């Protein structure tokens, strides 16, 4: 194998069936990361790679931050595991309190999971069970959106709208309908921040309500900013309209904030940034800075309290995971939230966002670039696909970028970037200049 430091190389790559990866391509030319510090990864051959993706949208404070490392080490030595059902340990309660303090006012309760996908399943189940608890048991339908990404479990792919994530997995959940996506390149290409056109697409929810009857609909789930599908920024006023329609019809509104939570837009949550309050928020990733798997669902007092009836010795919600609020994840979460606060990282993201916007939009006019989209510290650069070979151009840019020392993500023919919130201006320039050079030299 062509690795300069063979002692770090696994001797056989075939056993690990890699997630969301072109396994055969990867195993012919592996891209192996062996350590990380702040804004950089180190590869197995000793190169520094600038992280333009915060890992996978999760290392918002940058990598291997001392406080988080120490908290995990100490926790592992003190309490490895405590049963999550009918037992507790202090740090899970402490983290729930810190999250409640950080979240917008209506959110007073936290249900812990281990990933974004599990947060989504949890939120969908809470929504349906909540409707039943308030005497609305006919409300079982779920509304998602085209091009939505809500993880990979059956509920999430059912309400999700990415065709490849759905089509080979059978009939999925029944009773699901989808809003149209909000991507209008003809009208909104090269918008800076929120696009002008498309708010009325929220009114499609009225059409869906008229079709099925409000009394059959439990919840509507959307990403406030859609990430995995290629960075789709909500048109101005779109989210507020969705909120109004849900309120009017008794539909639980879920914001999937797995990527927008924890400062990505320069505010704790997208709900804060847009000033639109859902009823449930799903989060994960930045909750522990990616260091230990953990997710959470934030619930309003109204939703939580609807379950707190009946005999007190009975379980109120038949749902949970072995590792819900595990000691290691809780310790990592507490240290992560402290790091964000001590370093003012959400404010920092807001401050640097205009520089990020200008830098990204300087790619307008570069060969192959047909759209640039941005909000907070998120950027999307859409490329003209090679005729008959969708995704190939963006994937080749991804490979060249890694060779040239920057890590980006691509989905379809869209480059997505979401750097750690500690990124410096010179590093933003490096990302954008490297991409420009690659695109100008790419067929």
**List 141, 150, 178, 304, residue binding ligand PXG (CB under 6 A):** 150
Buried/exposed code over 301-322 (b: 16+ C-beta within 10 A; e: otherwise): eebbebbeeeeeeeeeeeeebe
By the rule CB under 6 A, 381 interacts with ligand PXG: no
87 by DSSP, 3-state: which?
coil
Residue whose CB is less far from ligand PXG, 116 or 327: 116
Q: Give the list of residues 6+ apart from residue 138 with CB closer than 8 angstroms, or none.
A: 215, 216
CB of residue 21 to ligand PXG, shortest distance in Å: 11
Distance of alpha carbon 302 from its chain centroid, rounded? 25
Count, in order, helices (H) and strands (E) of the chain.
Answer: 16, 15
- Site residues (CB under 6 A) for ligand PXG, limited to 244-273: 256, 258-259
Residue whose CB is less far from ligand PXG, 43 or 117: 117
- Site residues (CB under 6 A) for ligand PXG, limited to 151-210: 151
Q: Give the list of residues 6+ apart from residue 294 with CB closer than 8 angstroms, or none.
A: 112, 113, 114, 115, 284, 287, 288, 326, 329, 330, 332, 333
CB of residue 383 to ligand PXG, shortest distance in Å: 16
- For residue 160, what are its two tokens? 């999700």
Stretch that binds ligand PXG, among 28-36, 146-154, 342-350, 388-396 (CB under 6 A): 146-154
By the rule CB under 6 A, 278 interacts with ligand PXG: no
By the rule CB under 6 A, 287 interacts with ligand PXG: no
By the rule CB under 6 A, 149 interacts with ligand PXG: yes
By the rule CB under 6 A, 115 interacts with ligand PXG: yes
Residue whose CB is less far from ligand PXG, 115 or 136: 115
By the rule CB under 6 A, 57 interacts with ligand PXG: yes
Stretch that binds ligand PXG, among 145-153, 320-328, 364-372, 383-391 (CB under 6 A): 145-153
Distance CA 49, CA 64 (A): 15
By the rule CB under 6 A, 284 interacts with ligand PXG: yes
Q: In what order do the strands lie in the sheet with 107-113?
A: 107-113, 295-300, 280-283, 252-256, 217-222, 141-145, 176-179
Distance CA 269, CA 222 (A): 14
By the rule CB under 6 A, 41 interacts with ligand PXG: no
CB of residue 20 to ligand PXG, shortest distance in Å: 7
Distance of alpha carbon 311 from its chain centroid, rounded? 38
Distance CA 122, CA 342 (A): 31
386 by DSSP, 3-state: which?
strand
Stretch that binds ligand PXG, among 179-187, 209-217, 408-416, 435-443 (CB under 6 A): 408-416
By the rule CB under 6 A, 321 interacts with ligand PXG: no
CB contact at 8 A, 57 and 259: yes
CB of residue 313 to ligand PXG, shortest distance in Å: 34
By the rule CB under 6 A, 3 interacts with ligand PXG: no
Write out the residues near ligand PXG by the rule CB under 6 A: 56-57, 115-117, 120, 149-151, 223, 227-228, 256, 258-259, 284, 409, 411, 416
């Amino acid at each position: 194998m062509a690795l300069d430091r063979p002692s770090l190389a696994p001797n056989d790559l075939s056993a690990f069936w890699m997630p969301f990866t072109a396994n055969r391509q990867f195993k012919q030319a592996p891209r192996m990361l062996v350590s990380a510090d702040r804004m950089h990864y180190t590869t197995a051959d000793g190169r520094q790679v600038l992280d333009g993706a915060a890992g996978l949208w999760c290392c918002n404070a940058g990598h291997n931050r001392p406080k988080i490392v120490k908290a995990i080490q100490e926790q592992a030595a003190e309490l490895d595991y405590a049963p999550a059902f009918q037992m507790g340990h202090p740090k899970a309660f402490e983290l729930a309190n810190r999250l409640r303090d950080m979240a917008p006012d209506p959110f007073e309760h936290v249900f812990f999971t281990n990933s974004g996908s599990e947060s989504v399943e949890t939120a969908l189940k809470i929504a349906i069970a909540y409707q039943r608890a308030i005497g609305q048991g006919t409300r079982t339908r779920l509304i998602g959106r085209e091009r939505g990404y809500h993880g990979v479990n059956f509920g999430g792919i059912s309400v999700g709208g990415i065709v490849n994530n759905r089509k080979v997995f059978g009939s999925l959940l029944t009773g699901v309908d989808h809003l149209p996506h909000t991507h209008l390149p003809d009208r909104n290409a090269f918008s800076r921040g929120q696009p002008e056109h498309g708010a009325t697409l929220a009114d499609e929810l009225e059409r869906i309500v008229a079709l099925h009857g409000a009394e059959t609909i439990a919840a509507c789930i959307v990403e406030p900013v859609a990430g995995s599908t290629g960075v789709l920024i909500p048109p101005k006023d779109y989210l507020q309209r969705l909120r109004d329609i849900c309120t009017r019809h008794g539909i639980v509104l879920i914001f999937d904030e797995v990527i927008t939570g924890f400062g990505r837009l320069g505010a704790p949550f997208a709900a804060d940034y847009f000033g639109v309050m859902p009823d449930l928020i799903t989060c994960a990733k930045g909750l522990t800075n990616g260091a230990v798997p953990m997710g959470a669902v934030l619930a309003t007092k109204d939703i939580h309290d609807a379950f707190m009836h009946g005999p007190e010795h009975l379980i109120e919600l038949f749902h949970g995971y072995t590792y819900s609020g595990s000691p290691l994840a809780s310790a990592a979460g507490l240290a992560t939230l402290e790091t964000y606060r001590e370093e003012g990282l959400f404010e920092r993201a807001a401050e640097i966002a205009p520089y990020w916007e200008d830098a990204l939009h300087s790619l307008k006019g570069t060969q192959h670039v047909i759209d640039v989209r941005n909000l907070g510290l998120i950027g999307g650069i859409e490329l003209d696909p090679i005729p008959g070979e969708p995704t190939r151009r963006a994937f080749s840019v991804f490979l060249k970028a890694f060779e040239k020392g920057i890590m980006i993500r691509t989905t379809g023919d869209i480059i997505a970037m979401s750097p750690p919130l500690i990124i410096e201006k010179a590093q933003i320039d490096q990302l954008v200049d490297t991409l420009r050079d690659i695109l100008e030299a790419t067929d």
